[in-house]
Amino acid sequence: MQLIPTGEADKPRNQFPPVSVGETLIPEADIAAELQHHPATEVSEAWHQAARSLVVRELLRQDARRQGISGDNEEAVTSRLLEQQLAIPDPDDADCRRYYDANPERFRSPTLLAASHILLPAAPDDGEERQRQQRLGEELLALLSQGEASFEALAREHSACESRHQGGSLGQLVPGQTVTEFERPLWHLPEGIASTLIESRYGWHLVRIDQRIEGRMLPFEQAKPRVRQLLLEGSTRRALRQYLLVLAAELGVEGVDLEVSGSPLLQ
């Protein structure tokens, strides 16, 4: 997601309606200052996200005063207010078991993958070089399949990646460590040398999966703390959203729609 282009945040705010909570007007300058925390592709989207965030803070401040909760630290005051106003039931074992049984893929140990590669480099916009490197990659694959060369030797000779000094070894990988177009097919490969090349923004890759240990379903007792935490987080989000919407109806909010997702507290 792009940040707001330079100068966009300085556009006049009179294109947007005044924002208020009860009798309190949210200053346009405060909304402008809050914009930096809400990157978006459009100024209007960022402005509404910033305005909703300030409205939520003002709703909580006003209710804290109404409930007689005060202090110098806004975070501490908000924490005390929410502890007092939100009743979050602690999920029992039956709740946890139902969620665990309904969402098995969320409670698997990660697949462990160790891989090596040979990078044959080519710029994304250099079609001629990409074709040349693809042909070279196919020739190297043929050598490997015929047993006429070792993966390590070819990596040291041809790879443009620093891993060539380790025979192409990338070590043990975790999801998100490599670029998407390389990672997506990589995690579906079996052990051994891949029969086809993988193309990425950097060029072509010959790939060998050195070790693959599939993730396994965690036993319920092992997963239960995580299940309980997920259920508590979900209950808290729902209770908080309902509490804020009731507050907005009681105190009155003008200029933004809290029903629209955008504020982290309302997601």
Averaged pLDDT, 35-60: 92
Residue 222 clears pLDDT 70, i.e. is over it:
yes
Both structure tokens of 101 = 């049984």
What domains does the chain contain, in order, with CATH numbers?
Answer: 8-91+225-266 (no CATH), 112-213 (3.10.50.40)
- What is the structure's pLDDT at 260? 56
Strand partners, 118: 206
- What is the structure's pLDDT at 258? 84
Q: How many CB atoms are located within 10 Å of the residue 159 CB?
A: 21
Residue whose token pair is 């192409």: 168
User: How many percent of the chain have pLDDT more than 70?
Assistant: 92
Residue 79 clears pLDDT 60, i.e. is over it:
yes
Q: CA-CA distances (angstroms) from residue 57 to 34, 47, 247?
A: 12, 16, 12
Averaged pLDDT, 126-142: 96
Q: Summarize pLDDT for 190-211 with one digit per residue, the tens.
A: 999 999 999 999 999 999 999 9
Both structure tokens of 62 = 């006003």
Q: How far apart are CA 228 and CA 224, in angstroms?
A: 6
Q: Summarize pLDDT for 26-40 with one digit per residue, the tens.
A: 999 999 999 999 988
Instruction: State which amino acid sits at residue 262.
Output: G
